[in-house]
Each structure stands twice: as structure tokens, then as C-alpha cells.
A and B are shown apart, each in its own frame.
Chain A
């Protein structure tokens, strides 16, 4: 018996020793595995994801490429976030500097402007995902005044709206506490809405409806939205304007939108807007809406007229001549032209009107132009009149000119009145000259 017990004890003892050594080795192996696991995580790879990719066995070359790609992406993201945080801090530091400068009343010198542009450039290079980091840095800086925070976020909204207007609008909502007193916020929100309306009008209007009480959806924002919508779907934009509920406060802004839409429509957009206007106003208006429809038509056409002026006579004239405008439409467009000529040389327009408008419409459009031109540069008007052929058109222009001259230059007015043929209108002017009213206060 004894020998077997001794042998058993020896075997068990040896096994116990081996087991203990193996256990120690296992503990070491576990520790090493955990270290390696942490290192893998530090490289930007999720260890659980890795073991799921590569079990059973070790890393094959194909899976190695996938792992490397993932590590690179994680590292790139971390690097990008670090870069954006640094940019955010630079922008914030610059904003603080500017506030101090404003307080001291000093102007920005050229070097400061260059720095400002460098900062703006970095802001503009930010991608959509970066703005969350910028916002985080801005919000978490306790030394930044709330107003400055709002201004920085407002700028971010503008930048982001160019890339993704939906995200920009979300940023607006997320930052409402800081933006509510920013004077330009409605304008920026409006631009983002307008941008969205260009590609997804339904979403733009749904956003405005959902957030109409947010404080950002004011008339300016609606105007921007309608302008954006008018580019994408002019008929819908015009129907939207017509369908809005009546309110005296809304009216001036609603047709401001229509005029605005007309004023930015160029080229093919203009033709589409015109076609849409005709379609929308073609049906007999519902009782009580005649004035609204007429206002819509007038506003859009006037807007088109003002845009024709800013685009230059050389491009406007061919369009006017080739377009299918009815005489009434043309007249309304020319009303907009008159309004747009306040600081532009009107002579080509006057010449065009004299050649293309019937006599009974000529005075209606040229009188206003002559009057405002006279206020601005009466010598030039006189010079122009001297080049005009004798006739009713020249007489009508002379009448407007002389009437405008009377309060300021009565002697010159007298000389021009003397060139007019005898008649009621000449007599009326002579009577005015006798009375010589005080000039109207300057605008």
C-alpha cells in the first residue's frame, strides 16, 4: 500500500505545482492581453469589433487592411476634432479681441483685417460635423459674453446654411437662448430658410409653420423663403402669397415678398416667374380678392422692373422687346423701372420709352423719371432736353422739368416754360411760378 500512496502523492504534488505554474502563466497572459487590448483601443480600434472580425485565428491580410482603415479613420477623426477645437479657440480669442477694440473705439487696421479674414476663412472651411465642436467651445467659455456667443453662432449659421440649410436651422433652434437678441438672426435664419426652399420648398414652409413662434420666423424670413421658393417653384410661391390670411400688418410685407421675388428673378427664372404669375392670376379672382390679386401682379412686375435696371439697359431692352408682356404688364414693369432709376442715368430708358410706348402711356412713365432726375442733376436734364426733337414728348418732359425747377431755380424754370406751346398746362405752370412754393424738404 505505501508505495502506491507515495506515488499518488508525488503525482498529485507535481500536478499541483504544474497547475499553480500554469495559473500564474495564465494570470500573466491575462494581464498582457488586457494591456494589448488597451493599446489597440488607444490606436482607435474597438477591441470587441476586432475580435469579432478576426476570430477564430489571427489577422489575415484582408482583415488587416480593414483594421488599418478603421484605425486611420478614427485617428483622422480625432485629429480633425483637435484641429477644430484649436480653430474654435482661435475664433473665440479673436472675437474677444474685437470686442475690446470696439469698446476702446479704435478702428481695425489692415493687419487686424487680415487676421479677421484668416479667422473667417477657417470658419468657412469648417464642415458640418465641426460646428457641434465649435458650438461646444463657444458655450463652455465662461469669459465670453452672451452677446458675443450669439454673434459667433450667428456667423456659424450663415456658414453652415451654405452647406446644409437644415443643419443650420437646427443650430438656430439649439442656440435659441443665445440668438434671441442677435439683431441679424432673423435675417440669417431667413437666408437658411430661403436656401432650403430652393431645393425643398415643402420642408422650408413646414419648418416655418412649426417654428412660427420661435421668434426667428418674421416677415424678413418669410420673404427669404418665398424668394427661394420662387426660384424653385414660382407658381407655388405666388399661390402661397395669395393664400395667406388677410391682415393689415401682413399686407405690406406679403407684397414686399412678391416684389422681392421679382427683383431677384433673372434670365430663365424671370420668364418662369412671369409664366407662373399669369397662371396664378388667370382665373377670375374669388369675390373680395380682386385687390389682392391685382396687388400681387403689380408687385411682381414692379420687382422685375427694378431688376431690369440693376442688370443694365443693354440686357433689359432686348428682353422687354422680345418678351410677351401685355401692354398692361409692360406698364407695371416700367413702374418698377422708374423706381429703380433713382441713381442711374435714365437717358437710354427715356429713349426706349419714347420709341416703344404709345403716346397715352408715355407721360405716365417719363414724368416721374424726369422729376427725380431733375432733383439729382438738373443740368443733365436740360442738356438732354436740348437734344430732343420738337414734339409732344419733348413738351411733356419739359413740363415735368420746369415744374420741378420752379421752387429752386425759378429763372431757369421760366426760360423752359417759355419754350412750351400755349395751352392750359403752360398757364398752370406760369401760375405756379407766380406763387413759387417753398421747395419740399430733402429726402
Chain B
């Protein structure tokens, strides 16, 4: 072939070669990336396999070592430093944020101790050279812990401490003791009461306070009354009747558990009416009514009145107490709305339904007394609410009862403006005159 005839094939060859070369090199980045990714995958998976193997080997040898090094794992009890515990608890008392981990560790430690170990610690703690408050709080916490597993031992420990403690132990020791006593009674009522009667005879609960009521003793009886009532109502009645009259009221007012259902509520009311004079009965029923409210709200209280066939006098007293509790609890939050016109109007309606004659007076008093307390419901809030309530439904009784209780040093001018809205001129003048008096020291 001549050179002329080779030109075309040569051009085709060159062109093809150029195209194939270009095609090849455009794939270079892809191949490089693939290689990079392949190497990375290899490096990471190899590293992970090696790490896992190391961890597995370490875990196998670590388990053996752990059993030797860790007292908890080996079954040995943790060392308890009572003074450190007391210091931690003192820190919790001062109102600032506690060390939650330390608190939890403390509680866990207590739960893990045996009854004998805790009893021994309580004895030791009672003898520590600590400020009395710190000592008592420490002992209380240990007794509480002991009460979880062995309430009888907790009662014994508390009684022993209260006998031997220098100075008057904090009243919370008594509270802790009552809780343990209540738990003990649920397990062994006869044993608990036998011990109690013996302790009373031996002077354990002799009161040194200037009071007609032996608080410690009465509260102990209250704590087991429901348990006793369920097992032996006659014995429960006899025990209460054996008490001085004033103490019977205290025992019955403090007894809880009777709010659980209508049958218990009815039985309680019959017990109260059977052992207390008429003038004391409403007071004893008052606490039950408030517990019913906390459990079942205002509707529950209405049913309660029917269940116990409340007399008009009882109803008047009980309604006032429940109204105050209801209003106060709203100011605490407690999952309910803060007091406002809407929810207070519901309370107002309930009061009118249950005791129309005193509904407005009761409402005004409840609002005023709540704002005068140490909670966070301010007199200004109370004043605003009463103003709204009066605007919605004018009521002299509401205003008079509120102004009667409201403290004039908080916003006297606004209170005077409110007093000016009383429609009855005599009541209005009396309210204004009272507000004009100089503040009492």
C-alpha cells in the first residue's frame, strides 16, 4: 500500500487511541476513590476487630480482678462514715442544691445494710459528737432505712434513741417512729400493740410538754387505728374510749386510711359520733373531709357528706375547712391550675350548693387567709381575684369576710376601694372604719 492509502487508517487509529485514552483517564478519580474507600474500610474494620479482641480479653481478666478489688462485688459491706453522712445531710438542709449523687449513694448504702447492721449504726450515730440537729437527722434517716425492711427493729431503735438522746430529739424522730410502728402493725398488730402498751406503762411516751394532749402517744395510736379498726372494731373503740376526751379528738382527727372508700368513711363517722361529744365531732370529721377532698376533689366531698349523713352544723364546718384546703392547694400548684376566676367560680358554686347561707363568707375568708400565710399567694393576687369575683356576681358577704381578714398594711388604698363597693351602708362604713385604724404592731 502506498502512504496515501495509510492516511485514513492512521487517522482512525490515532483518533481511537486518543478516545480510549481519554475514556480511561476519566475513570481515574473513580478508581482512586474506590481504592481509598477500600483501604479505609480495611483500616477501620481491622482496627475495630483488634479493639474488640482487646476489650474481650480485658473483660475476661477484669472480671477476676474486679471480684477481688470491689468490695461490693466480693460481698463485703461498704464502709459507712457516719460523720460524713451527717455532713452530707447537713448540706441538704441548708436550702441549696444538694449533691444528688452523694445523696443517692447514701440511700443505696442504707438499703443494702442488714437490720442488725442498721440497728448498730443507729446506736453509734446516737452517740456521735455532733450538733444535735445533725445527729437527729442522721438517726432519723437510718431509722427510716431500717423501717423499710424491719419496722419492728426500727421502732425499737427509735424508742431507745429517744430515751437515751441528750437533749430533746427533733420531733421528726417521732414521725419516723410512727411510720415504722404503722408498718409493724400491718404485719403483726398484736405484737405492735403489746409493745406499745408496755412502752406507755414504762413511761416511754411520757410527755414533758405543757399540753393537755400527749402528742406522741396519741399520734402513735392514730397511726394504727385503721389497721386495728379493720381487725377488731370493738377493740379500736375501747382503746379510744380509754383516752381522755381531748386526746380522743386528736387521735381521730389524725387517723388516716378511712378516706379510702364510702364504707370506711361511714364507719369512721359512726366511730366519731360514738366516742366524742357533739361539739368535738365536726373537728374530728374535718380532717377526714380534707383527705377525701385531696383524693376525690369537691365531688368526692359532696358524696362524703351524703355517705356520713352530715348534719347541717357538720356540713357548715366541713365545707369551710374543705374550701380553705381547696383554695390553698391551688396556690401550691400540685398539678392544678393556680387560682383564677374560672376555677374559683367552680368552688363558689360548690359552696353555694353545699351551704348557701355561708358560701360567700367562707369563700372570702379562704382567699384572705391563704394570702396572709407564708405561701406564695400574694395579697395583691387575692385582692384582684376577689374584685373579679365580685364583678361577676356582687356579694357583700364576700367583700366583708375578705376585708375582715385581709391585712391592711398590704395595699390599704386598694382595700378601701374594695370596701367602697359594699352595697350595705352599715357594713361598708364598718369595713372602712376598720381599714382606717392604725396598723397593730
Measured CB to CB, the residues of A under 8 A from B are 1, 3-5, 7-8, 11-12, 14-15, 18-19, 22-23, 25-26, 29-30, 32-33, 36-37, 39-40, 43, 45, 47, 50-51, 54-59, 64, 67-68, 71-72, 75, 105, 109-110, 113-114, 117, 120-121, 124, 147, 158-159, 161-162, 181-186, 191, 194-195, 218-220, 224, 227-228, 247-249, 253, 260, 263-264, 266, 307, 309-315, 343-345, 374-380, 404-405, 408-409, 439, 442
Contacts and interface: CB of A to CB of B under 8 A. Distances in A.
B210 A439 contact: yes
B166 A58 contact: no
Band of interface residues on B: 35 or more
Contacts of A409: 210
Given A117-B108, A312-B130, A158 B32 contact: no
Contacts of A55: 32
Contacts of B90: 310
A227 B30 contact: no
Given A12-B12, A181-B336, A191 B97 contact: yes
Contacts of B27: 22, 25-26, 29
B335 A147 contact: yes
B6 A183 contact: no
B333 A182 contact: yes
A249 B379 contact: yes
A7 B33 contact: no
Given A58-B39, A182-B335, 18 more contacts: A1-B5, A3-B5, A4-B7, A4-B9, A19-B16, A36-B34, A58-B36, A68-B47, A110-B111, A147-B335, A158-B97, A158-B100, A183-B333, A224-B96, A314-B131, A343-B133, A377-B209, A408-B211
A113 B37 contact: no
A442 B219 CA distance: 15
B44 A26 contact: no
Chain A facing B: main interface SS: helix
B208 A379 contact: yes
Nearest to B165: A345
B134 A67 contact: no
Chain B facing A: main interface SS: helix
B391 interface: no
What 9 pairs across the A-B complex have the smallest Cβ distances?
A: A312-B131, A15-B16, A183-B333, A345-B167, A36-B37, A249-B378, A248-B410, A7-B9, A4-B5
Contacts of A266: 94
A442 B167 CA distance: 22
Contact of B44 (A4, A45, A404): A45
Given A11-B12, A344-B167, A375 B209 contact: yes
Contacts of B208: 376-380
A379 B168 CA distance: 12
Interface stretch (B17-25, B267-275, B283-291): B17-25
Given A147-B335, A181-B335, A194-B96, A50 B171 contact: no
B333 A181 contact: yes
A249 B97 contact: no
A112 to B, nearest CB: 10
Contacts of A117: 104, 107-108, 111
Nearest to B371: A249
B440 interface: no
B44 A14 contact: no
Contacts, number: 238
B20 A18 contact: yes
B41 interface: yes
A29 B41 contact: no
B132 interface: yes
A162 B100 CA distance: 8
Given A26-B30, A120-B104, A377-B209, A228 B96 contact: yes
Contacts of A18: 16, 20
B170 interface: yes
B380 interface: yes
A26 B23 contact: yes
Given A18-B20, A113-B111, A249-B379, A345 B168 contact: yes
A75 B48 CA distance: 10
Nearest to A261: B95
Contact of B104 (A3, A56, A124, A307): A124
A41 B27 CA distance: 22
A51 B100 contact: no
B188 interface: no
Contact of A36 (B9, B41, B335): B41
A8 to B, nearest CB: 4
Contacts of A64: 39-40, 43
B200 to A, nearest CB: 18
Contacts of A147: 335
Contacts of B17: 15
8 contacts: A1-B5, A4-B8, A33-B31, A36-B41, A54-B36, A345-B167, A377-B208, A442-B211
B13 interface: yes
B279 interface: no
Contacts of A405: 210
A110 B149 contact: yes
Contacts of B411: 248
Contact of A248 (B13, B209, B409): B409
Candidate in A33, A54, A55, A75 with the most chain B CB atoms within 10 angstroms: A33
Contacts of A26: 23, 26-27, 30
Contacts of A376: 168, 208-209
A264 B96 contact: yes
Interface string B151-181: 0000000000000001110110000000000
A405 B97 CA distance: 42
Given A376-B168, A378-B208, A50 B107 contact: no
Candidate in B107, B167, B213 with the most chain A CB atoms within 10 angstroms: B167
Contacts of A114: 108, 111
A296 B47 CA distance: 66
Contacts of A67: 40, 43-44
A355 to B, nearest CB: 20
Interface in B247-295: 260
Contact of A263 (B26, B30, B94): B94
Given A51-B36, A183-B335, A264 B94 contact: yes
A102 to B, nearest CB: 11
Nearest to A11: B12
